[in-house]
A and B are shown apart, each in its own frame.
Chain A
């Protein structure tokens, strides 16, 4: 009997409720005190095709899924064919007994076919074939002998208020019937069990996009303008849902160009603003990014990556836009790039992005991707410390127009919007006060803000140095070096960024359990950085292998460009599917030959 260590997968067509059932099941399990890692896979369509939802369960915090599963729950026949190879020996395939399934093929793999009258129970007990989802989830719970009351509670939450408790009652009756039948038939054959943890603390079941949203709220963001694009849309929708409650202006702009420009306008008025998009939308924002850099306007942009090029794989994941964002925008101007790796980091780095943007008066790009945006984990609510974020809010050299005394003092000191200063950061007073009247421009400008009509070389040099000086100061004072996870003195260091954190961390743990000595060096801050110190860190690694989800090894190139240091190897994945620990370990063997 293996307790509380299992992965199961639900699969079916779009529209069958694969995602909602999977997430509901994950939530029920999390409420029982266990840790979960939920990951989804879906196609760019509303009905049909093939989607799946996979949940891994453990008694410790999880940072990744694994490709192999113990239980496959099929809402359609295609799921069986597609995912049977992932089921381990001794595992099971649960499906409606009306499906045409090759049970012999399943048995040949050492896997247990588990046909169940799911549709029959849904229709006869529930009166609606759509309740097949409930039957399937409950059946899976029965096979694993997981306390059904947690699932009943999720059903009540979903249906209790909105659709009336009569539907909830029927769903619960279906759940009980399926649970009992499945338990009777298969529980004794199936090794893996789920048992609630008594007195476990309550945890939040939350994904990366939601954490980014909480971070934005916590940091006092007041303005969002965006155009929907997968996988950023759910972040935008989250902010829309909170707009009234938190007094935020959220605008769906006519396109992404307009979205970022709305934010620039709002930020110019003195408000914290962000736009969120994916690579294609960011492509449209590029000219405006240059404008923000030139006018030294603080804006935050969330770039939720998906594979390109062009429309690419809209609902899949990748890390293909790093070098693009680092260089985007014509001309040379300061920006910062942050790539949080965990859901907790999404929260803090989003809040921090606003501080960096306002302190250094520049655009800050926060990276995520489909994998991090959508993966679910169970996290202690205290991990999202609103008080800490509030105490760290830093608006930089900003005086708002209604802070009369401070404005008067600044004017008396000869306020000019783009004053030359040691750290390159000039005082910023948004328009509104009678004594502060000025114009800004995307053209090269004078300290007063006017366009430099004479276009003198002297002013140009000074302004360029002023703007770029901010990068040096940020690198020295505010940007963070990459962090290690795992033992010191490793033979192999996995170097990575963004969402690779989870799979690499789990790979490190597995390898070390099996006698190797590895660790991870994870970058959140990508630019600007104190590269001399980064070089020192790398020079102290015995060997280092970069792991990232793109073809060209973008972080590896960025490191080489800034330090001259070349990675010993790069493990790449660019098939649109997330990294996982097994993939990393298998490919490590390959690259080790070359190291």
Chain B
């Protein structure tokens, strides 16, 4: 972590975002920067990995390390990088199609491994960059170019799946409330393990249903209820299924008892993998030959 305070200016990238005016991604970008400032994280201490989609352009729009990869594929790249350089703050940023659709299998497995990775999913319930097809989180009956008569599938429930899959930090935010979201992101980064932050993010061009107003009418914060304990798995399970007139955001679930993936790997006990000297000692290699003779 930094000694001199990090500023928003320091995190400014020379690249201008190509997002549409009013896009929820601006709010997410703002929240990510605020979180880094809050935690005193310098650009070189963070590694963003994104997929493909509007939101996945984010690594270029922030001054930090980044890897803009393939649709549905940031999760394994993030894990490989983390295991080779485990004191870097690794943050995956991708959309609902990227992570809950094509990337679903990778998502399922990162959750049961619990590496120290923060995962921000930009959930706008539509495919924006490819111009308006429905997405895994689109509500049933949602009309789009690929569902002209309304979708006939039930949407993915990311919070419930994350709970079932063993995720140790599950939160949901709203790009229209970047301060609250920044706080969630900061908590996620600080959490020792995998942290999911699903973010409601209006797509002003293609999703005319789930708009800023639509969300503001429904969302409420879990932390406003003093009786809600995010360590209570059963309570989280119940909240995960709340949808309709009232939709909870905030921290659904935290479990701080689970070891991270990397702290269980002997090779990483002393120092990060990239710092290991290679090749191994010749004597150690020669000793292997005995077993063959």
Q: Do A and B come from one complex?
A: yes
Complexed CA–CA distance, A44 and B88 (Å): 43
The contact size tier of chain B is 35 or more
Is B109's CB under 8 angstroms from A222's CB? no
- Complex Cα distance, B69 from A7, in Å, reads 53
Residues in B with CB closer than 8 Å to A430 are 85, 274
> Within 8 Å of chain B (Cβ to Cβ): is A249?
yes
Partner of B44, one of A266, A268, A295, A437: A437
Chain B proximity mask over A250-266: 1 for CB below 8 Å, otherwise 0:
01011101110111111
**A389 interfacial by beta-carbon distance below 8 Å:** yes
Q: Across the interface, which residues of B come within 8 angstroms of A263, CB to CB? A: 80
**Alpha-carbon gap, A401 to B75, bound state (A):** 23
Contacts of A435 in B (CB 8 A): 44
CB distance from A27 to the nearest CB of B (A): 9
CA distance A261 to B67 in the complex (A): 12
A258 touches B76 (CB 8 A): yes
- Chain B contacts for A270, CB-based, 8 A: 84-85, 274
Q: Please give, as numbers and ranges, the residues of chain B lying within 8 Å of A387 by CB-CB distance.
A: 282
Which chain A residue shows the least CB distance to B17?
A453
Contacts A222-B273, A265-B79, A437-B65; A431 near B44 (Cβ below 8 A): yes
Q: Binary interface profile of B, 241-283, with partner A (CB < 8 Å = 1, else 0)? A: 0000000000000000000000001111000011110111010
Say yes or no: is B81 at the interface (Cβ < 8 Å to chain A). yes
CB-nearest residue of chain A to B62 = A439
Contact of A245 among B42, B43, B284 (CB under 8 A): B284
Q: Does chain B have a CB within 8 A of A366? A: no
Is A451's CB under 8 angstroms from B68's CB?
yes
B83 x A251 contact (CB < 8 A): yes
> B66: CB under 8 A from chain A?
yes
B60 and A441 form a contact (CB under 8 A): yes
Q: Mark A385-396, 1 if CB is under 8 A from B, else 0.
A: 011011001000
Residues of B contacting A: mostly: helix
User: Which A-chain residue is minimally distant from B265 (CB atoms)?
Assistant: A249
A223 is an interface residue with CB less than 8 A from chain B: yes
Task: Find the residue from B18, B66, B266, B292 having the highest chain A CB count within 10 A.
Answer: B292
| Residues of chain B contacted by A264 (CB below 8 angstroms) | 77, 80
CB contacts under 8 Å to B, within A551-589, are: none
At the interface, yes or no: A218 with Cβ under 8 Å from chain B? Answer: yes
**Pair B108/A453 contact, Cβ less than 8 Å:** no
Interface hits, B1-54 → A, CB 8 Å: 15, 18, 42-44, 47-49, 52
Nearest chain-B residue to A220 (Cβ)?
Answer: B278
B73 within 8 A of A: yes
- Report, as a range, how many residues of chain A touch the other chain: 35 or more
Known: A244-B266, A249-B265, A264-B77. A440 touches B274 (CB 8 A): no
Interface membership of A118, Cβ < 8 A: no
- Alpha-carbon distance A451/B67, docked complex (angstroms): 10
Stretch from A103-111, A201-209, A515-523 at the B interface: A201-209
Chain A residues contacting B288 (CB-CB under 8 Å) are 214, 217, 242
Tell me how many residue pairs across A and B have CB atoms closer than 8 Å. 206
Known: A220-B279, A431-B85. A451 touches B57 (CB 8 A): yes
B222 at the interface (CB under 8 A from A): no
Within 8 A of B (CB), among A422-474: 430-443, 450-451, 453
Q: Which residues of B contact A242 (CB under 8 A)?
A: 288
Report chain B residues within 8 Å CB of A352. none
Asked whether, in the complex, the Cβ of A393 is within 8 Å of the Cβ of B293, the reply is no
A266:B285 contact, CB within 8 angstroms: no
Q: Is the interface of A mostly helix, strand, loop or mixed?
A: mixed
Q: Indicate whether B70 reaches chain A with its CB closer than 8 angstroms.
A: yes
List, in ascending order, chain A residues with CB within 8 A of B73's CB. 257, 261, 287-288, 291
Tell me the smallest distance from the CB of B233 to a CB of chain A, in Å. Answer: 24
Q: Is A291's CB under 8 angstroms from B70's CB?
A: yes
Asked whether A440 lies within 8 Å of B88 as measured between CB atoms, the reply is: no
Q: Contact: B109 with A258, CB < 8 Å?
A: yes
B80 & A273 in contact (Cβ 8 Å cutoff): yes
Interface string of A212-256 (1 = CB under 8 A from B): 001001111011010000000000000000111111110101110
Q: B63 near A: Cβ within 8 Å? A: yes
Chain B residue nearest to A287 in the complex (CB) = B70
Q: Are A254 and B108 in contact (CB under 8 A)?
A: yes
Contact present for A246 and B106 (CB under 8 Å): no
> Across the interface, which residues of A come within 8 angstroms of B83, CB to CB?
223, 249, 251, 262, 265-266
- Closest Cβ neighbor of B77 among chain A residues: A265
Q: List residues of chain A with CB within 8 A of the CB of B52.
A: 442
Given A204-B292, A243-B266, A219-B279 contact (CB < 8 Å): yes
Q: CA–CA, A270 to B52, complex, Å?
A: 24
Shortest C-beta distance, B10 to chain A (Å), equals 10
Given contacts A257-B76, A440-B68, A204 and B289 within 8 Å (CB-CB): yes
- Closest B residue to A259 by CB, please name it: B76
Interface string of B81-92 (1 = CB under 8 A from A): 111110010000
Tell me whether B64 is interfacial, beta carbon within 8 Å.
yes
Q: Kindly provide the distance from the CB of B170 to the nearest chain A CB, expressed in whole angstroms.
A: 20
* Contact B286–A386 (Cβ < 8 Å): yes
The reply to whether B60 and A442 contact each other, CB–CB distance below 8 Å, is: no
Flag whether B59 is at the interface (Cβ < 8 A).
yes
Indicate if the CB atoms of B284 and A246 lie closer than 8 Å: yes
Name the distance in Å between B243's Cβ and chain A's nearest Cβ. Answer: 29
User: A258 CA to B69 CA in the complex, in Å?
Assistant: 13
Q: Across the two chains, which residue of chain B brings its CB closest to A381?
A: B289
B76 touches A269 (CB 8 A): no
> CA separation between A390 and B82, bound complex, in Å?
27
Q: Chain A's nearest CB lies how many Å from the CB of B156?
A: 18
CA distance A237 to B264 in the complex (A): 19
The distance from the CB of B28 to the nearest CB of chain A, in whole angstroms, is 17
Q: Is the Cβ of B88 less than 8 Å from the Cβ of A432?
A: yes
Q: Does B105 contact A (CB under 8 A)?
A: yes
Distance in angstroms between the alpha carbons of A218 and B278 in the assembled complex: 9
Is B78 in contact with chain A by the CB < 8 A criterion? yes
A390 to B283 alpha-carbon distance, docked (Å): 12
The reply to whether A249 and B267 form a contact with Cβ atoms under 8 Å apart is yes
Q: Is A210 an interface residue (CB 8 A)?
A: yes
Complex CA–CA separation, A265 to B109 (angstroms)? 17
Contact check, B109 vs A254: say whether CB atoms are below 8 A apart.
yes
Say yes or no: A202 contacts B293, CB within 8 Å. yes
Q: Which residues on the B side are within 8 Å of A31 (C-beta)?
A: 293
Given A219-B279, A249-B84, A431-B65, CB of A204 within 8 Å of CB of B293 = yes
Contact of A272 with B278 in the complex, beta carbons under 8 Å: yes
The answer to the question of A63 belonging to the interface, with a C-beta cut-off of 8 Å to chain B, is no
Q: Is A490 an interface residue (CB 8 A)?
A: no
29 contacts between A and B (CB under 8 A): A202-B293, A203-B293, A204-B292, A249-B83, A254-B106, A258-B76, A259-B76, A262-B76, A265-B77, A265-B78, A265-B82, A267-B80, A268-B84, A269-B273, A270-B85, A271-B84, A271-B273, A273-B84, A287-B70, A291-B70, A381-B292, A387-B282, A393-B279, A400-B275, A430-B274, A436-B44, A439-B64, A441-B68, A443-B68
Please give the residue numbers on chain B whose beta carbons come within 8 Å of chain A beta carbons, in ascending order: 15, 18, 42-44, 47-49, 52, 57, 59-60, 63-70, 73, 75-85, 88, 105-106, 108-109, 265-268, 273-276, 278-280, 282, 284-286, 288-289, 292-293
Known interface pairs A272-B278, A291-B73, A435-B44; 16 further A-B residue pairs with C-beta atoms within 8 A, sorted by A's residue number: A203-B293, A225-B80, A247-B267, A261-B70, A262-B76, A262-B79, A264-B80, A265-B77, A265-B78, A269-B273, A270-B84, A287-B70, A437-B65, A438-B65, A441-B67, A441-B68
Q: Which 9 A-B pairs have the closest CB atoms?
A: A220-B278, A265-B80, A439-B66, A262-B80, A269-B84, A441-B68, A265-B81, A261-B76, A204-B292
